[in-house]
Chains A and B, each alone.
Chain A
Amino acid sequence: MEQKFEGTPKSEIRIDGPKLLRSEVTNDWGSLLRWVITQNGKEVNVHNARPMLNYEPKLSTKGSHEAVLQMWKYVDYKKDAQGEFTNSKFVEVSNKITFNI
């Protein structure tokens, strides 16, 4: 029996001082949930978001950053020769916020 995943996950995120805050995820698939912080489109920080509803990133890069929550979307377990999934992937499940360091 292949795993079924119900609904589309969604969470709201915001920033409060140095902390990123997230709401509980609705329609939570239960797979890996992570904070992804980018600068100029490039990932500068990735952190597991499951343990807590807040996260205080330690960023070494100055300037404007963007944060979003991503969840692992399992489609199947197929992988390429390098061992990376080919069809399953991370998808964004929250709004994006921009903040300055």
Chain B
Amino acid sequence: MLNIGKERVPLCEGPSRRSFLQLGTTGMATLSLPTLFKLEALGAVKNSDAKIRNCITIFLVGSPGQHDTWDMKPDAPAEVRGKFKPVQTNVNGIQICEHFPMMSKMMDKVALIRSLHHRTGATHENGQRWMMTGHDFNADSVKPHLGSVISKVYGQKSELPSNIVLPGPIGNTGAGPLHGQTSGYLGSAHEPFFLNSDPANKDFKVGDLEVAQGQGNNRLDARKQLLTQLDEIQRRTESRSTQMHDSAYERAFRLLTSPKAKQAFDLNQENEKLRDRYGRNTFGQSCLMARRMVENGVRFVTVNHFDTVFNLSCWDMHADGGGLNNTYLDYERLLCPQFDMAYTALLEDLQQRGLLEETVVAVLSEFGRTPRINPKGGRDHYPNAWTNFLAGGNIRGGQVIGSTDKIGARPNDFPVEPPQILASIYHAMGINLDTTMMPGPGDRPVRLVEAEPIRQLFS
């Protein structure tokens, strides 16, 4: 037997990997660390190689209808054009929905892509995977989230994780658990860090950064020592994948004990007026948190606007009278105003701090919505045409790429598919798609995404 602290480990009987990990988990239990927080980056590119250092992706779960937001068709028949009116933006010739009044004054910073489409089934999950991995579903090789790819390519640049999802992961959207927000074949070392806490809560705290009550720093130090001893034994007896696990604990421990990390997550350090400007709601405060994250060295942040489409006000406007009963009223009274405030606050705030030019801000969603309003007054899933947009970094704002036909049913010119958006984000972040490969299944080098960047997006 071996004593580690007060623990007795039965080495002579042949220690199993499980027994070590169980002990490690027991030792860490009161620290409440995320089991998937594993951050080792292998073969990382130097930080200094990236001119555009950060990316914030806002994912509009459920998907807004293009006709009711950023690709309006005021001349189409009433059953197509919908209830809202277009307004002129600060860029001649570009109109968007009247319920984005603040965004309409910042269109010079935004590049709309109105001809997005994909060719697979109209489920939320298909669209989520396309827009967050650039790939179609493949059960044999789950593709990594673009934040995980960035984590892999550039590694961690501060004590904070390199890839964070706010406020939490996408949950049930109807057709399965794979939403494209995991590290996939890149492994747990590049799994996103999920905040799993609501920044709009009055007593918001990141649970994993709070030391359990009654557990002082001395006890923390003792646990750190215990972990170090465990690490040494494991290194002698275990595989490389286990070592990655150790490294994750080590980094998680650093995060737990880092004053900088605690400060980064503390929204109370923000000016009250600025918090108001973002909107005192889960999405607005998550966007503010996203800015704090990139300011403190997080390279990739995803903000999920909602984690489900069921039984709550969200973009999935079926108006079905049941669990998917979002209507024009939800858009007008809650969703559009909430997005308008938070998105424009984020762009303004990043710009005022000099961060916008080094941060790509992408607004993504799964698909569009049907051109004709359904009999109940909603619109259903429609992957044949929709609008997403990019800003910040070296994106040239004030432009529209692609267009749809008269009823917003099909791309009319310059059709764009999801991998082109991801290729553009990678390109914006300084990644050469011809020379940067991922270790795919069996460590075979694979291209990040099978597409070229949209050159027109860039200055």
Contacts and interface: CB of A to CB of B under 8 A. Distances in A.
Contact of A3 (B101, B282, B377): B282
A3 B329 contact: no
Contacts of B334: 31-32, 72, 74
B357 interface: no
A30 interface: yes
Contacts of A9: 280
B311 interface: yes
Interface string A1-16: 1111111010000000
Contacts of B377: 83
A91 to B, nearest CB: 12
Contacts of A76: 312-313
B84 to A, nearest CB: 11
Given A32-B334, A77-B326, A1 B276 contact: no
Contacts of B327: 79, 83
A25 interface: yes
A29 B276 CA distance: 8
B320 to A, nearest CB: 11
Interface string B221-260: 0000000000000000000000000000000000000000
Is the contact region of chain A dominated by helix, strand, or loop, or is it mixed?
loop
Contacts of B340: 50
A28 B279 contact: yes
B282 A1 contact: yes
B272 interface: yes
Contacts of B272: 26
A6 B281 contact: yes
A84 interface: yes
A72 B342 CA distance: 16
A6 B168 contact: no
A83 B167 CA distance: 30
B201 interface: yes
A56 interface: no
Nearest to B267: A6
A55 to B, nearest CB: 12
B438 interface: no
A5 B282 CA distance: 7
A54 to B, nearest CB: 14
A78 to B, nearest CB: 8
Interface in B298-312: 306-307, 311-312
Nearest to A3: B282
A1 B198 contact: yes
A30 B285 CA distance: 11
B362 to A, nearest CB: 21
A90 B281 CA distance: 16
A69 B311 CA distance: 29
Contacts of A64: none
Contacts of B201: 4, 6
A51 B100 CA distance: 9
A85 interface: yes
A85 B327 CA distance: 10
A27 interface: yes
A33 interface: yes
B101 A48 contact: yes
Given A30-B281, A50-B101, A79 B276 contact: no
B337 A31 contact: yes
B266 interface: no
B282 A28 contact: no
A9 B280 CA distance: 9
A74 to B, nearest CB: 5
A43 interface: no
Nearest to A27: B280
B202 A3 contact: no
Interface in B87-141: 98-99, 101-102
A30 B311 contact: no
A3 B102 contact: no
B368 interface: no
Choose among A26, A27, A31 the residue with the greatest number of B CB atoms under 10 Å from its CB: A31
Given A29-B279, A50-B101, A77-B325, 10 more contacts: A3-B312, A5-B200, A6-B200, A6-B201, A29-B281, A32-B333, A76-B313, A77-B311, A77-B312, A83-B319
Those 5 A-B pairs whose CB atoms lie nearest each other, nearest first = A30-B279, A51-B101, A6-B280, A4-B200, A72-B333
Interface of B: 98-99, 101-102, 167-168, 198, 200-202, 272-273, 276-285, 306-307, 311-313, 319, 325-327, 329-330, 332-334, 337-338, 340-342, 377
Interface of A: 1-7, 9, 24-33, 48, 50-51, 72, 74, 76-77, 79, 83-85, 88
12 contacts: A7-B202, A26-B272, A29-B280, A30-B283, A30-B284, A33-B337, A48-B101, A50-B340, A51-B102, A72-B334, A74-B334, A83-B329
